[in-house]
Homo-oligomer: A and B are copies of this chain.
Amino acid sequence: MGKSVNKVILLGNVGKDPEIRATAGGTMVANFSLATTDRVKDQGGNWSDRTEWHNLVAFQRTAEIIRDYVKKGSKLYVEGKIQTRSWDDKQTGEKKYRTEIIINDLSLLSGRGEEGGGGGYTRAASTSSFDQRSSAPTEDYGQSAEITDDDIPF
């Protein structure tokens, strides 16, 4: 039949310091919210910003990275999937839903203030780096490779 795809890409800012817990079974869990902001036209036709808050969840090793490096205000790139959990509210007996993004991969782009533009989580920087190409491809194409109006795709 072919697999399905459920993929989310977010780039935004963390709203609060993450909450770190462990389940009864001992799995590390990190919970936090991430804001993305959209420019939208409101009813009056004016542009304004609309902030969307996403509930993010990470497990195990990723949860540990979040515990160690992610704070309120951190700018984050996240890849994940959408998952909606449901339960019956004890008070009202109603079914309730909560949609969360389960993080598969993340990249810390910056933190607040003291962290400046860096301070990431990459463990044990590698010592050797091998590029297969010695020179930049930018240099090595002739006159004929220049983009002309014919190449413009619109």
The verdict on A109 contacting B51 (CB below 8 Å), with A84-B99, A144-B89, A145-B85 known, is: no
Band of interface residues on A: 35 or more
Minimal beta-carbon separation of A95 from chain B (angstroms)? 6
CA distance A154 to B42 in the complex (A): 6
Partner of A131, one of B2, B5, B53: B53
- Knowing A27-B149, A149-B43, the reply to whether A107 touches B5 (Cβ < 8 A) is yes
CB-nearest residue of chain B to A41:
B154
Contacts from A to B (Cβ < 8 Å): 1-13, 15-16, 19, 23-25, 27, 29, 31-33, 35-43, 46-55, 57, 59, 75, 77, 79, 81-92, 94-99, 101-102, 105, 107-110, 115-122, 126-133, 135-138, 140-145, 147-154
